[in-house]
Chain A
Amino acid sequence: MARRKKKRKIFSPIYMTLVLIVLYLPILMVIIYSFNAGRSIGAWQGFSTNWYTRLFNNALMGDALKNSLILAGLSAGLAGVIGTLGAIGLAHGHIRGGNAIESLATLPMMIPELVLGMAYLAVFTAVGVKLGMTALVLTHTAFCVPYVFINVKSRLVGMDPAIEEAARDLGASPMRVLRDITIPLIMPAVISGMMLAVAMSLDDVVISFFVTSAETTTLPLKIYTGLRSGGTPEINALSTLMLALIFVLVGLSQLMRARSDKKLYSSK
């Protein structure tokens, strides 16, 4: 018994360290070399924030950043509304085939992005949607909906149905219950879902690549094209910033969920 315990004590830290190295070393490299004074990725030539300065002075980068933020904001917002309404509708209405609808709604997360991108491109060309921002917002909204939907749905499933019934019993109409009870209670899930959606939208390359136009470029696209044409530490700097932003978004999203879950479940 004691021996087995000791063995595990040696094994698990080594295993953990290996996994963490494999996962995070490359990312760490990107971050470190974004502060490199020289151009090369591989030879350290002293600390400098030079590449960040150059990045901020690059007008094209500014444009890409603006596009990315607008795109992420709009698509996360739209996905927030669509995903939330869908989840409420499915959880409350006794809809025939609700499970099938749920699977269909979350399927886009599983479909290869390459296929999705091609599919959107084909549809937009056929229907005549101009490629560019509109097309980007439509596609990003589409692949962001599942993140909000899943989050809100699981929140609703975990909620005691008697809470909403109590509100009706006390005299609130169904709309009033939605406004006073349901929406405030699922809000943390909506927001955390939308943060995930922003994170997903901000780093999408593949789908965006298919439906964007030459004039409209987003940050991830910029990084991709930048790397293709040789790659500069400027790209490292940009990646580091995006990494930081996404890290913050996902962290906040997790934190919100955990805190509100605690509140919801401890009151039962």
Chain B
Amino acid sequence: MQEVLLSLKNISKNFGEGDVLSGVSLDVHKGEFVTLLGSSGCGKTTTLRIISGLETPDSGEVILNGQDMTDLPPEKRPVNTVFQSYALFPHMNVEKNVAYGLKVRGMDKKAAADRVAQMLELVQMSEYAKRMPSQLSGGQRQRIAIARALAPQPQLLLLDEPLGALDLQLRRQMQIELKRLQKKLGITFVYITHDQEEAINMSDRIAVMRGGKFEQLGTPEEIYDRPKTRYVAQFIGRSTILTGRVVLADGSLAVVENENGSFTVDADYAKMTVGEMCDICVRTERMRVSRTPVEGFSLPATVREARYAGGSVMVYVNLADGTEVAAECGFRMADAPKAGDTVYMHWNPAQAAVIGGASYGA
């Protein structure tokens, strides 16, 4: 088992208008890339500020390397932050910005200058050392903010939506660069984003947050393939959620039934009993469409629309009870079913997931 670097123990925080965080606990291992994912107001930034010391929790503990840091001010923590607005010092040039963390810690000038040069090289900004922040583009400021936060060699780097202000193309490029940097330096990252694609691409583990709590904590694969709650299933990727009553459960497969018919799901990881209600999540790209009933099971549906989606065709259908389902298919547009056609929806039971957990039924 890897060594735990940071551990949050039952953190709660209230700004006077209800709990922003209620009982968040998290262990981050050395060298790990952990992402806090959630929409705005879910408490992810507050969590980050509590780790950096810019905010104090009402209760709970922040432990770094076995040391309780809960009451330490931010300047005494071996943790640095890359801010969403970059927060470069506008009156200092690039070099002085990067050197600031070294200067206040009393590093000697020669060593600091070497370190700054090394950092600027790392983010490929060496030739901009004498520029002022106002003379840099957004992407360049971003790199300087990262270099500045890395310069004091923090044990933990916190990144608050660092790519949020960049355009899509630059964002994709920076995702790859950041990940490469993190691997190369072996520094532990705690990363915040509301972009699920970014989280899935970059993270070792993702914590999906909602209303000041963790909905699910797991690897990107676990989060995507085995969402624990309806919220996670809907927030990450696109999927159809079907609710039904379990009519058969033999430990590996379960058959679920509702007004639309009965369907099968792999259930070797879920405890299911006959007669209970459950939610099944099928990812849009795993939903199949057939013109004829399929052996095993298939749900009849009426096509509303088929639309070309760049390399695939999105087929939108209504099940018998009106439930709207989307499926991404390999048809060519010419072969795709037309509006009004009757089709049969099916999927590989191993690729559907049973949703279980806190927000079941919510």
Residues on A with C-beta less than 8 A from B134 are 263, 266-267
Chain A interface mostly: helix
Among listed A2-10, A105-113, A171-179, A213-221, interface-contacting one: A171-179
Q: Are the CB atoms of B54 and A263 closer together than 8 Å? A: no
Q: Does B52 interact with chain A (Cβ within 8 Å)? A: yes
A165 interfacial by beta-carbon distance below 8 Å: yes
- Highest count of chain B CB atoms <10 Å: which of A180, A266, A267: A267
Which residue of chain A lies nearest to B101 when distances are taken between CB atoms in the complex? A170
Min CB distance B316 to A, Å, is: 42
Given contacts A173-B75, A266-B134, contact A167 B90 (CB under 8 A): no
Q: By the criterion CB–CB under 8 Å, are A166 and B104 in contact? A: no
Asked if A127 lies at the interface with its beta carbon under 8 angstroms from chain B, I say no
The reply to whether A163 and B87 form a contact with Cβ atoms under 8 Å apart is: yes
Q: State the Cβ distance, B258 to closest chain A Cβ, in Å.
A: 50
Instruction: Give the CA-CA distance A168 to B91 in the complex, in Å.
Output: 16
Using known A-B contacts A263-B134, A266-B134, determine if residue A171 contacts B104 with beta carbons closer than 8 Å: yes
Size of the A side of the interface (Cβ < 8 Å), in residues, is: 22
The answer, yes or no, to whether A96 is at the interface (CB within 8 Å) is no
Question: Which partner residue on chain B sits nearest A184 by CB separation?
Answer: B91
Q: Please, how many residues of chain B have a CB less than 8 angstroms from a CB on the other chain?
A: 28
User: Do residues A168 and B74 form an inter-chain contact, with CB atoms below 8 A?
Assistant: yes
Q: Are B101 and A171 in contact (CB under 8 A)?
A: yes
* CB pair A165 B74 closer than 8 Å: yes
Assembled-state Cα–Cα distance A184/B104 (Å): 16
Residue on B nearest A188 in the bound complex, by CB: B91
Chain A contacts for B297, CB-based, 8 A: none
B105 at the A/B interface (Cβ < 8 Å)? Answer: yes
Interface membership of A131, Cβ < 8 A: no
Whole-angstrom distance between the Cβ of B283 and the nearest chain A Cβ: 38
B210 lies within 8 A of chain A by Cβ: no
List 16 interface pairs A-B (beta carbons < 8 Å), by A numbering. A162-B87, A163-B87, A165-B74, A165-B83, A167-B104, A168-B75, A169-B74, A170-B75, A170-B104, A171-B105, A171-B152, A172-B104, A173-B73, A181-B89, A263-B134, A267-B90
Which chain A residues have a beta carbon within 8 Å of chain B's beta carbons? Answer: 160, 162-163, 165-173, 176, 180-181, 184-185, 263-264, 266-268
A165-B81, A169-B75, A263-B132 known; 20 new pairs, CB 8 Å cut-off, are A160-B85, A166-B89, A166-B148, A168-B73, A169-B52, A169-B53, A169-B149, A170-B100, A170-B101, A170-B148, A170-B149, A170-B152, A171-B101, A172-B75, A180-B100, A185-B90, A264-B90, A266-B134, A267-B88, A267-B141
Nearest 5 interchain pairs by C-beta: A170-B101, A162-B87, A166-B87, A267-B90, A267-B134
